[in-house]
Amino acid sequence: MRSTAVNGQVLAAGLFLLVWCCSRGHVGGEEAVSSPPNVVFILADDLGFNDVGYHGRDDMSAIRTPVLDALAGEGVKLEKYYVQPICTPSRSQLLTGRYQIHTGLQHGVIRPPQPNALPLDEVTLPQKLKERGYATSMVGKWHLGFYKDAFLPTERGFDSFLGYLSGKEGYYTHDNTFKLGGTVMKGYDLRANKSVVKHFRGHYSTHLFTEKAVHTIKHHDRSKPLFLYVAYQAVHEPLEVPKRYKIPYAHVENERRRTYAGMVSCMDEGIGNITKALRHSGLYNNTVIIFSTDNGGPTQCAANNWPLRGEKGTLWEGGVRGVGFVHSPLLPASIRGSINHELMHISDWLPTIVAGVAGGRLNGTKPLDGFNMWGTIRGEVPSPRKELLHNIDPLVVHPYYPEDSETDQDAWSEMWSNHNLIAGVPRFQRFNSSIRAALRVGDWKIQTGHGGSWKPMPHPNSWTPPPESGLGVVNPILRPGQHLWLFNITADPLEENDLSDDYPDVVATMLDRLDQYYQDSVPVRYPSWDPSANPALHGGAWGPWE
């Protein structure tokens, strides 16, 4: 049960939000609404589905997010919104509008010493917005490759950048250590544009990135619309936060969860400061604020996705169903404060922002997998999206089957004879269900492979309640060697009832669709580590080495 102090603090925060949410236009004089609008896209890192207040308060979570609750409550909550299960793929799809099977980023994340990156022939969201005259600025985590100078954010469409290039680092030190066997590579990772900036050591990154975002808003040249991409480090590991943010969660016994909750609160405060800066600068009335997580929360790092199944890294709903909302005074009054249950995916943001919000053109990109959802978000039309591919990763194969079974018809026959779903269908013409993949079509979701994550995790297939609930992990009963699941995800969003034995025709159709995607995919690009990347060879900092 929450303490009186916690309730009082939450009430005070709520009253504070009510005051500034109701004070539109009286500070600094809001500018007249013009076109195209400013866009502020805020991306949280590893935020669990149950770790935002408006979800968690009904599902035993102690975490409170009064700013996010207020913004979402006055905007449109996206409650059938999907992301990718890990960092790099989500960020690549956000900035290109294209599935990772079309960019070669199907497997894992980009590691610091890997000569890998988002391909240069992919047109990015900020590049398209610059065609509409936008000033483009990025703050925070990149994680789309940096082994050559051409892959840095300021070469991919951003006018300015303050942040780090790799996947994680110390919140105070800004150091990232990569270990592989006996090899250890450690380096500093914080840049302003292309230059390493070491004077921010000791500056907590959530505060730093918030301050930079506020500075960008205050000093924005209003002759241009603004696109500001704030990719917070929060709430990715390591679990670090100033002590004062943990005080409201003193009643939470689990120390890691208490720290994680404080990290969420610190980020929530930062988003409030960004929103206040928009108001004080007179930009708010012509701004669209978008909030999203990049993937589900990792339960081993104290995040939580309850009541969804699975976690970060998995293709269960807990790994791919994300927290997301849109907040703007430009939204019709009739849909502010509403919940949108239309199917939407992170790959939809490029066409939605460029064509929908900014009124730009989508020519010049490669074929997009995303859809313009602006009319759907505004409540005007149903979602044009009827299906979404979660992923196909041919580098992760169920250990029950040989990895070369894709071209071995005898192995294919053995595989299908061990599964009674495709009777009467030529067995070698179906998608190899030993490959890790998942697809959503209408109400149906199919998942193949071994289940779980692309790398070992404690409870990848389970339902994990928040530590403060006092409840234990609920583990599923898995059939030995099982490599295929089918769910009616609309009726069963918690993925409790596998229907693969009951609907063989649906399974066959879904496997055919997966195979179509697979045939249209490009080879996975996941190169070996390059010793030339060692920061010791580059002044002690991570950065381009080729």
Residue positions annotated with a catalytic role: 87, 143
Tokens of 8: 């009082």
Which stretches of 125-204 are DSSP H helices?
Answer: 125-130
Cα separations in angstroms, 546 against 8, 15, 116, 175, 176: 55, 53, 11, 21, 20
Q: Which amino acid is at 103?
A: T
Among residues 185, 140, 163, 170, which one has the least CA distance to residue 238?
170
Tokens of 443: 């109400």
Question: Residue 293's beta-bridge partner residues?
Answer: 44
Q: What is the DSSP string of 344-385?
A: EEGGGHHHIIIIIIS----TTSPPPS----HHHHTTSS--S-
> 3-class DSSP state for residue 167?
coil
Cα separations in angstroms, 68 against 265, 296, 372: 10, 17, 24
Report the distance separating Cα 181 and Cα 539, nearest Å: 23
- For residue 17, what is the enclosing H or E element? helix 4-21
Q: Compute, in degrees rounded to 10, the torsion defined by CA atoms 326, 329, 334, 335.
A: 0
Q: Which amino acid is at 240?
A: E
Decide: 205 and 233 in contact? Cβ < 8 Å. yes
Report the distance separating Cα 228 and Cα 217, nearest Å: 8
Cα separations in angstroms, 475 against 469, 483, 540: 17, 17, 44
- 338 by Cβ neighbours in 10 Å (0-12 / 13-18 / 19+) ranks as middle
